[in-house]
Amino acid sequence: MKVIRTVSEVQEWSATERSAGNTIGFVPTMGALHQGHAELFAQSVDENSRTVVSIFVNSLQFNSASDLEAYPRQLEQDKVIAEKQNVDVLFVPNHEEMYPNSFSSTISAGPIAAHMEGLHRPGHFDGVATVVVKLLNAVTPDIAYFGLKDFQQLAVIRTVVRDLNLKCHIIGVPTVRNESGLALSSRNSRLSPESLTQAPSVYAVLLEMATQARERETTTTALKAHFTSAMKPFSAAKIEYIEIVDSVTLHPVNTAKAGSTICVAVWFEDVRLIDNISI
């Protein structure tokens, strides 16, 4: 596995691979890799001639300096995980490489980013859109892979790629969960033992809600009330939001039915977790 640290070098590598007729798959990450990332890598390796994984903790998408500082960094462990998955290139730029002193251009993620995560994390998706476009322009992949756990992020990226005429196909990969149903996340390592025990309740309740919505037409008001009530016994949990949206446009809907997705954000002590389930 080759490690590349500059935009110019990864662009040169990509151009060489393209001239040889190879297709390139790409998985952008912020590191602290886990089995969920490994599934993305595996799909890319299976569907492309070459696979690139980036590791860059993007300061533009954090709303708090303490959250940025606390984000886990474990590059040597990440290298081992990527290499085991037969990743060809690990692109590891530093902050100055991605955002030099002269950097001043950013991307607005638009209306699709205005609620849910965007409402509670102002500017977050502008930062995501900016870094993803920069990474896509550096790697120039044929396909880029993103996890469905970050449901709104995936929708934002698809919109930005479409609107800016970027020549890259965006693939959403199903959420990977542990045996208790907890969605794998780099933030899980920060959960206390109590929170780690309680956090799987989020997906368990989402499953109940999806079953209810599939069996009979259910109002979003009723589903929100159900989620709030079901989470009350879990002392470490604090609900930030629960929204039911159209799975494509992300517009809020009044009735949960096929083609809609339930999205939630819940704090467990000082760790914020998100999850979703499509109906």
Reported as a single tens digit per residue, the pLDDT across 29-47 is 999 999 999 999 999 999 9
- Residue 180 is assigned to a structural domain of this protein: no
Task: Locate the DSSP E strands across 14-148.
Answer: 24-29, 50-55, 89-91, 143-147
Q: Do 143 and 84 lie in a common domain? A: yes
Confidence of residue 154 (pLDDT cuts 50, 70, 90): very high
Q: Do 59 and 107 lie in a common domain? A: yes
Q: Do 48 and 123 lie in a common domain? A: yes
Q: What is the mean pLDDT of residues 50-54?
A: 98
- Any bridge partners for residue 246, and if so which? 260
- Residue 178 is assigned to a structural domain of this protein: no
Q: Are 198 and 234 in contact (CB under 8 A)?
A: yes
Q: What are the distances in angstroms from CA 105 to CA 33, 102, 215?
A: 29, 9, 48
pTM: 0.95
CATH number of the domain that residue 50 is part of: 3.40.50.620
CA–CA separation, 177 and 213 (whole Å):
22
Q: What does the pLDDT look like over 5-23, one tens digit per residue?
A: 999 999 999 999 999 999 9
Q: Do 142 and 207 lie in a common domain? A: no
Give residue 71's pLDDT. Answer: 85
- Residue 181 is assigned to a structural domain of this protein: no
Q: Print the domain residue range for 240.
A: 186-274
Q: What is the mean pLDDT of residues 194-213?
A: 97
Q: Are 44 and 145 in contact (CB under 8 A)?
A: yes
CA–CA separation, 93 and 112 (whole Å):
29
CA–CA separation, 266 and 231 (whole Å):
10
Residues carrying an active site annotation: 37
Mean pLDDT of the chain: 96
Q: What are the distances in angstroms from CA 183 to CA 30, 59, 100, 197?
A: 17, 24, 35, 13
At 256, list the tokens: 């949960």
